[in-house]
Amino acid sequence: MIRNAVCKFLIIVSLIFLNNSLFAQISVEYFGGAGRVSGSCALLKVDNNSVIIDCGSFYDEGDLPSDNSVIDKKLINADAMVLTHAHNDHSGRVLQLINDGFNGNIYCTDATKKILLEMYDDGWNYDYVKKKYFWSKTKREKMQLRESKENLTLHWHSACKNAVKNREESKTEISPMQLKDKYGINFKVCKNCLNKDLEKLQDRFISVEYKDNIDITDKINFSLYNAGHISGSASVVFYIYDDNKIKTVAFSGDLGSGYSKVTPDKDIIPRVDYVFVETTYGGVKKDISNVDYQKFQETISGAVKNNKIVWIPSLSLHRTQKVLFEIKQAQVNGLIPYDVPVYSLSPSSNGITERYEKEANFPSRDRWFKNEVYQTGSFLPENYITKKPKEFPVPCIVISASGMMDQGVSYGLINKLLPLENVEVCLVSYVGPKTPAGKLKKGAKHIRTTYGTAKVAANVNIFDIFSDHPDIDELMKWLSNQDSSTKIYLVHGDKDILDKALILYKQKGFENTKIAVKGINVLN
């Protein structure tokens, strides 16, 4: 009798204990973007379910490893993925993940889906996708002999087999990057083979409207909020249910600066239990204002009047389009004559610009842009040219990717343009410290490339106004529904910026702030 009573008592005590403390175990494991900026990728785990938030590429950040070749097995088995936006440091490894066997749905806004498919259509993000590729042996040998800088086409669908004479093929699955290391030449993927894959791939991306509520499992659902960073960008709020209780976990994604002329400003998310916040500029107060756009227009205007070549290395996605829009407005304001040619030379940028033009002409249901852009109906200035001239005329404006000048057309132009005194360089993007643009920003007088060393005679200007990230004041606005009990985790920042931000957040009353670690962050 007594033993029975004791047993009953113990059962009741343990039930109370379970009920109070054992809400489903929630953790967030970071694979990239924690303790650094690039490679954003997190795995939200709730008991046996898991959701990936972003799967981005690493880029060079000082001494940090930036190997993109291997994807962690834990990610492949996740139930689903939510993509915050189309920038490479958040989406650059999605194709790799799918190729490695990830089988879940990929949720994102319709704009993000359309932008990504446009990028994939241009052959982006295949560098580390491992397949059994085949190619022309004749061409491969010729290119090696000539030390050609062109690209050799890689195929993988049997439909292309007959088109490639004297075939050579990889015995095991191998990536275009590994092939480059092996043969010392560049490769690109075949359009036909690519299109076959893209047809299938489209259905994997599920378009989600801002603020809709989407179920992933019976325990997890989520809503997207406009992040105001680039077109289609989103913050994610997850709602996790256990019995009658609910916990909320948010991921800011990258947030807007609050100074974009193109993208509507960010939504403020509701109060949540846990939030992971981007910290690109989270530890600093930025001294920028809309007047800086005027300064940009005037700098170009002055250079053009002095018969100079204005060179603007710029990110392909969203930045090139913002720059074009600004040049267009400078033309309308009478600061740049309509007949000065505006060259946009990177195919990767021009594909996205075309997609933006389509949206500006035929607005979709979600708003990619501010009203002013739809009213103008176009991003393109007069005399917009996408073909590279034999010689650049003076004056002219040249836009090229990448913004860091470490690859693409920008890299190829370093030795041609930097040694010229009549060149005005305008840096409008974030630049890694070790990249050519990073060195230029620090005042380097020589830049070394594989084409030789360029002596810098060009004049260099820096414009922060184009940044699409918030400073500490803008972040505090975004966090205005949170309170001192909200648990805040800082991500997506350089180490010293993260340290500075942590102090600032605590000063502002967010006592429960931490820097998220790479690896597992247990939330409850």
Name the residue among 35, 11, 36, 42 with its Cα closest to residue 520. 42
Nearer to Zn ion, 61 or 89 (CB): 89
Give dist(CA 252, CA 479) in Å, integer.
10
**Residue type present at position 262:** V
As measured in angstroms, the least distance from the Cβ of 227 to Zn ion is 9
**Is 449 in contact with 408 (CB distance < 8 Å)?**
no
| E strand or H helix at 474 | helix 472-478
**Burial status of residue 230 (CB atoms within 10 A of its CB: 0-12, 13-18, 19 or more):** buried
As measured in angstroms, the least distance from the Cβ of 18 to Zn ion is 40
Q: Which residues of 249-286 are buried (b: 16+ CB within 10 A; e: fewer)?
A: bbbbbbbbbbbbbbbbbbbebeebbbbbbbbbbbbeeb
Nearer to Zn ion, 89 or 471 (CB): 89
Choice from 28, 34, 129, 193 touching Zn ion (CB under 5 A)? 193
Which residues have C-beta within 8 Å of that of residue 22, sequence separation ≥ 6?
Answer: none
Helices (H), 202-346: 291-305, 319-332
254 binds Zn ion (CB under 5 A): yes
Name the residue among 12, 81, 18 with its Cα closest to residue 44. 81
**Burial status of residue 161 (CB atoms within 10 A of its CB: 0-12, 13-18, 19 or more):** exposed
**Is 203 in contact with 107 (CB distance < 8 Å)?**
no
- What the block records as the tokens of 21 is 């403390």
Beta bridge partners of 134: 155, 169
Choice from 77, 103, 192, 480 touching Zn ion (CB under 5 A)? 192
87 binds Zn ion (CB under 5 A): yes
Choice from 29, 61, 89, 359 touching Zn ion (CB under 5 A)? 89
Nearer to Zn ion, 192 or 480 (CB): 192
Q: Which region, judged by CB under 5 A, interacts with Zn ion, from 59-67, 89-97, 342-350, 513-521?
A: 89-97
Which residues have C-beta within 8 Å of that of residue 70, sequence separation ≥ 6?
Answer: none
155 binds Zn ion (CB under 5 A): yes
Q: Which region, judged by CB under 5 A, interacts with Zn ion, from 154-162, 219-227, 313-321, 515-523?
A: 154-162
Nearer to Zn ion, 317 or 417 (CB): 317
Instruction: Tokens 């009798």: give the residue.
Output: 1
Count of residues that interact with Zn ion, criterion CB under 5 A: 8
**Other Cβ atoms within 10 Å of 414 Cβ, number:** 24
Strands 167-169 and 134-136: antiparallel
Nearer to Zn ion, 87 or 139 (CB): 87
Nearer to Zn ion, 48 or 166 (CB): 166
Interface pattern 201-240 for Zn ion (x via CB under 5 A): ----------------------------------------
Q: Which region, judged by CB under 5 A, interacts with Zn ion, from 81-89, 243-251, 346-354, 456-464?
A: 81-89
Q: Which region, judged by CB under 5 A, interacts with Zn ion, from 107-115, 156-164, 235-243, 378-386?
A: 156-164
**Other Cβ atoms within 10 Å of 321 Cβ, number:** 28
Nearer to Zn ion, 190 or 360 (CB): 190
Interface pattern 34-73 for Zn ion (x via CB under 5 A): ----------------------------------------
352 binds Zn ion (CB under 5 A): no
**Residue type present at position 359:** E
As measured in angstroms, the least distance from the Cβ of 192 to Zn ion is 4
Nearer to Zn ion, 319 or 487 (CB): 319
As measured in angstroms, the least distance from the Cβ of 500 to Zn ion is 18
Nearer to Zn ion, 41 or 185 (CB): 41
Choice from 83, 174, 190, 515 touching Zn ion (CB under 5 A)? 190
Nearer to Zn ion, 65 or 443 (CB): 65
160 binds Zn ion (CB under 5 A): yes
Q: Which region, judged by CB under 5 A, interacts with Zn ion, from 80-88, 103-111, 343-351, 404-412?
A: 80-88
Where along the sequence are the contacts to Zn ion (CB under 5 A)? 87, 89, 155, 160, 190, 192-193, 254
